[in-house]
């Protein structure tokens, strides 16, 4: 349990692991960090299904343009996208997009977000700020407090 009383299970994409090590989240959450689809083929449970079933809510933060595209189009080619596809329909799914302004404003991203919203996905809008690339504009991930508030509202 963390200080909000939640047990957090982190899934990291290959790209996410270029920025932060799984060990960091493993230490913070005291839970195994999931990165690979095929590492436990010998286990009795199919991990992506059991993870999806066990969740009270799922949050993708930061949500890249890539994962939004995959989610909107039903692509399940890694651990994260597969767990999200296996999420029971009643389990709240939240996404907190974060990307360069041009990527955020790209029609593909906007259409993907519209599709996800129509399906009941909670989209936590990005902020306007100076971005990692140096540009100033919309695309910075929402504040953590905002994300936690939305999460709490979604599971209520």
6 tagged catalytic: no
Q: Residue 62: is the preceding peptide bond cis (ω within 30°)?
A: yes
- Taking Cα atoms as reference points, which of 75, 53, 50, 51 lies closest to residue 64? 75
In the complex with ligand FMN, which residue's Cβ is closer, 11 or 55?
11
Residues 105-144 contacting ligand FMN, CB under 6 A = none
Q: Figure out which of the listed residues 72, 94, 95, 99 binds ligand FMN, where binding follows CB under 6 A.
A: 99
> Which positions from 7 to 46 touch ligand FMN by CB under 6 A, shown as an x/- string?
------x-xx------------------------------
Rounded CA separation 78/47 (Å): 12
| Residue 67 binding ligand FMN, by CB under 6 A | yes
Rounded CA separation 39/105 (Å): 37
Q: Figure out which of the listed residues 33, 47, 51, 64 binds ligand FMN, where binding follows CB under 6 A.
A: 64
Q: In degrees, to the nearest 5, what angle opens at C-alpha 19 toward C-alphas 71 and 24?
A: 100
Q: Which residues have a catalytic role annotated?
A: 133
């Amino acid at each position: 349990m963390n200080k909000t009383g939640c047990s957090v299970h982190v899934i990291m994409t290959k790209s996410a692991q270029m920025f932060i090590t799984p060990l960091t989240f493993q230490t913070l959450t005291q839970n195994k960090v999931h990165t690979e689809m095929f590492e436990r083929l010998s286990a009795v449970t199919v991990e992506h299904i059991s993870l999806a079933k066990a969740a009270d809510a799922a949050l993708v933060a930061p949500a890249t343009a890539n994962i939004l595209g995959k989610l909107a189009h039903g692509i399940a080619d890694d651990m994260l996208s597969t767990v999200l596809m296996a999420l029971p329909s009643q389990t709240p799914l939240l996404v907190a997009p974060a990307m360069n302004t041009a990527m955020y404003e790209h029609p593909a991203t906007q259409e993907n977000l519209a599709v996800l919203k129509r399906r009941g996905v909670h989209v936590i809008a990005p902020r306007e700020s100076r971005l990692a690339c140096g540009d100033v504009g919309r695309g910075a991930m929402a504040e953590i407090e905002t994300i936690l508030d939305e999460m709490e509202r979604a599971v209520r």
